[in-house]
Structure 1
Amino acid sequence: MSKVVFITGGSSGIGKAIGDFLTEKGYKVYGTSRNPDNYVSNSKFTLLKMDVGNSSSIEEAVSEVIKKEERLDILINNAGVGITGPVEETPDNEILKAFDTNVLGPIRVMKAVLPQMRAQKSGLVINITSIAGYMGLPYRGIYSATKSALEITTEAMRMEVLQFGIEMANVAPGDFATNIAAGRYHAPQLDSSPYKKAYGHTLNMMNEHVDQGEDPSQMARAIYKIIQTRKPKVRYRVGAFLQKFSVVLRRVLPGRVYERMLMNHYKLK
């Protein structure tokens, strides 16, 4: 019997790559999108209408899958938003939106699927975080904070649900060639801002990193391998070697040395 996979943010980028790959491997995949009708002709799997910011839409989508399949084996929390800007100049409402989508959104979805997994006495939850969540990156501080929060929340929940036969894992990607740069919120580059020059330069670098990022199919293969693992690890990192190695450096280098390394990378004084 094919395992049933539920992927949030399945209409494009990493989510779509994972859904397509798992469908080809014989899994029964359901993805979600706020506007699934826009992607029907471009998807190999079923897309359901859902917004991670709306609990009612989450309950409806999860209930639809369980009604059709009578089970839900794997949740992949992939939906998220990008946000850039000096923390001082990022509007409070945009900060709240980022935390709502990137942290509360996955928690809402986990709350919706866990009762079914508990009834089955089995299940796997994979939360897509980010290598940016391992460090405070300049002009990406809010994004880093949201992904770090999801990482820590998953670590706690993993210990809570293990008694029910449910496994959890974090997967932190580096830069991948997706449309996240086009969809992320950018705090405006104000002419009067003391951050204007440094922020503008860093923003250009970030967009270049995404454009030159890894192929999303690499994430799909990594997720497939994790699904095949009997006892998944707490965390995985996927991406370019230097991006993964930066996490190791953060752990072993003195804080000020690592900070200087980052500032040199972004050419900040």
Structure 2
Amino acid sequence: MSKVVLITGGSSGIGKSIGEYLCDKGYTVYGTSRNPERYESSKFSILTMDVKDLKSIWNTVETVIEKEGRLDVLINNAGVGITGPIEEIPEVEIKANFETNFFGPINVIKSVLPQMRNQNEGLIINITSIAGYMGLPYRGIYSASKGALELLTEAFRMELKDFNIQMTNVAPGDFATNIAAGRYHSPLLKDSPYIKPYGNTLELMNTHVDSGSNPNMMAEAVFKIINTKNPKIHYKVGAFMQKFSVFLKRVLPDKMYEKLLVKHYKL
């Protein structure tokens, strides 16, 4: 029987790559978007969902279950970027980022758990970020929202162990996607004390995304996880140095690691 997969934010970038790859492998795939009419030529079905709208989430999950009778894999991929000096980012934008990157995935998970529990099986893959393993300058809010999702997964796994429902994180590094175009950028204010370091860091971040890895790497990683009997808690996918940075965070003294980040971002 073909496994049924639901991917939030499946219309572009990493989500689209994962969906197309799984389609080619014979999976039944549904993606989501706030504007599915824009993606009528998609290789897989794109349904309406806004992860900030609880009714939208439950309606979409019910639609998939009604059509297929089951839901085997949820991939929480929908997310948005945010950059800027924490002091200058409006509170409304900070809350909006957490609504999409943290509270959204929680609510999507809650919506699929009853069905997976009835099936006595299921897999939930949360797409986080290597940035979630460290507090990055001028990406602090993004790091915090993704880091929170990493920790949530650790707790969820233990709560779900009696129901044969598995959960894991996949933390990508920089990939060549359109995430930079969709993220919130705190404006470079002429009178800001952060204008020079923030401007330099913003330019460096955009360069990393533009020269990032092929998102098919993420698709291949997700496919392997789906076909792993007992997935690990955390996976990192991306360039070697980006994955290695997480290892260094664990083994180096805090201030030494901080100095490496300061040097990298030329602060």
Number of the residue aligned with 2:155: 156
Tell me, yes or no, if structure 1 residue 215 matches structure 2 residue 214. Answer: yes
Q: Secondary structure at the match of 2:222?
A: helix
Deviation per residue, 1:22-81 (Å, 9 max, x gap): 00000000000000111111x110000100000001111000000000000000000000
Output the CA distance in 2 between the equivalents of 1:90 and 1:227: 38
Query: For 1:17-28, what aligned pairs fall within 5 Å after superposition?
Result: 17-28=17-28
State the Cα distance separating 1:202 from its structure 2 match.
Answer: 0.2
Output the CA distance in 1 between the equivalents of 2:230 and 2:63: 29
Q: Secondary structure at the match of 2:258?
A: helix
State the Cα distance separating 1:130 from its structure 2 match.
Answer: 0.2
Number of the residue aligned with 1:79: 78
Q: Secondary structure at the match of 2:87?
A: helix
Number of the residue aligned with 2:172: 173
Query: For 1:1-269, what aligned pairs fall within 5 Å after superposition?
Result: 1-41=1-41, 43-268=42-267
Structure 2: which amino acid aligns with 1:136?
Answer: G
Number of residue equivalences: 267
Output the CA distance in 2 between the equivalents of 1:60 and 1:111: 13
Output the CA distance in 1 between the equivalents of 2:157 and 2:78: 20
Output the CA distance in 1 between the equivalents of 2:16 and 2:40: 12
Deviation per residue, 1:71-101 (Å, 9 max, x gap): 0000000000000000000000000000010
Q: Secondary structure at the match of 1:237?
A: strand
State the Cα distance separating 1:162 from its structure 2 match.
Answer: 1.3
Structure 2: gaps of 5 or more residues: none
Output the CA distance in 2 between the equivalents of 1:17 and 1:134: 24
Output the CA distance in 2 between the equivalents of 1:231 and 1:252: 27
Q: Secondary structure at the match of 1:172?
A: strand
Structure 2: which amino acid aligns with 1:19?
Answer: G
Output the CA distance in 1 between the equivalents of 2:178 and 2:47: 20
Q: Secondary structure at the match of 2:171?
A: strand
Q: Could you state the TM-score of these two structures normalised by the residue count of structure 1?
A: 0.99
Deviation per residue, 1:193-250 (Å, 9 max, x gap): 0000000000000000000000000000000000000000001000000000000001
Output the CA distance in 1 between the equivalents of 2:39 and 2:97: 24
Structure 2: which amino acid aligns with 1:236?
Answer: Y
Output the CA distance in 1 between the equivalents of 2:157 and 2:112: 14
Output the CA distance in 2 between the equivalents of 1:136 and 1:18: 27
Q: Could you state the TM-score of these two structures normalised by the residue count of structure 2?
A: 1.00
The 4+ residue runs of structure 1 with deviation greater than 3 A are none
State the Cα distance separating 1:181 from its structure 2 match.
Answer: 0.2
Structure 1: gaps of 5 or more residues: none
Output the CA distance in 1 between the equivalents of 2:142 and 2:40: 30
State the Cα distance separating 1:15 from its structure 2 match.
Answer: 0.1
Aligned-pair identity (%): 67
Output the CA distance in 2 between the equivalents of 1:72 and 1:150: 22
Output the CA distance in 2 between the equivalents of 1:85 and 1:151: 22
The alignment yields a C-alpha RMSD, in angstroms, of 0.4
Structure 1: which amino acid aligns with 2:173?
Answer: G
Output the CA distance in 1 between the equivalents of 2:147 and 2:248: 17
